[in-house]
Amino acid sequence: MTRPHAAPAPGLPPRLRRLAFHGPLSEARADRFVERLAATRPATVLDIGCGWGEFMLRLLAAVPGTTGTGIDVNGEDLARGRELAEARGLAGRAEFVEESAHSTARGPADVVLCLGAGQALSDPAAPYDPASVLRELRRLVAPGGRVLLGEGFWQRTPSPGELAAMWPGARAGDHPVLGGLVDLAVEAGLRPARIETASEDEWEEFESGYREDTELWLAAHPSHPSAAEVRERVDRQRGTWLNGYRRVLGIAYLTLVPVA
């Protein structure tokens, strides 16, 4: 199904048009998450680092009357979210706000979503700290509510060569192992009702979809004035995955319940 999206810059490839979700999340897993969260009958949803808010919109559609607020700093993604909400008859129940989520006062909410966007809750001047992210999520969720967190963890300790191929300044301390991540959630006052991890198929669908439109554009426009810049960027992105974090970095999907 073709989904509405914000228009790309003139003459350049569209941005992330192939992706439903901005992360390694399959349709089947998303459907299960929506069904479980909808069963709690939330009145309010808060989506941290929402992007275009696809998951939030599906949850709103599943629970009539529920309202949702998505926070992000990317105006293009937020515009796409507003278009999606309008097309699905959800514009009156979905708000997309362009602002930082750091120290946000927009909670508490019955469901808090943070799918691969923990950095939105982090102090930009400090190293990334998943423990502080989990404490913030505990602050933002209402009593008896749910947090759905998508967070990175090391499947194994990365080698120096793999770290060098990842994002700039990547360190072994950037992520815990899965057990350590769950321990941090418990320490923050959240009980792990469900612990799941993205599959290799989900990763490959996401990574390929992330670059597919750009690769097709480069093949068709090799002499475009922006082709060299776009090619360098997409080749670097692909290399960080294939030579860096592939089969090293995992994504955990934790359904968390606040301790009373």
**56-80 pLDDT per residue, tens:** 999 999 999 999 999 999 999 999 9
Task: Give me the pLDDT at residue 10, please.
Answer: 53
pTM of the model: 0.93
What does CATH list as the number for 27-201+250-258? 3.40.50.150
Other C-beta atoms within 10 Å of 256: how many? 27
CA distance 238 to 213: 13
Structure tokens at 213: 């439109």
Q: Decide: residue 246, CB within 10 A, 0-12 exposed, 13-18 middle, 19+ buried.
A: middle
Total residue count of the chain as it appears in this document: 260
Q: How far apart are CA 153 and CA 27, in angstroms?
A: 22
Name the residue ranges covered by the structural domains of the chain: 27-201+250-258
3-state secondary structure of 138: helix
What is the tens place of the pLDDT at every residue in 206-254?
999 999 999 999 999 999 999 999 999 999 999 999 999 999 999 999 9
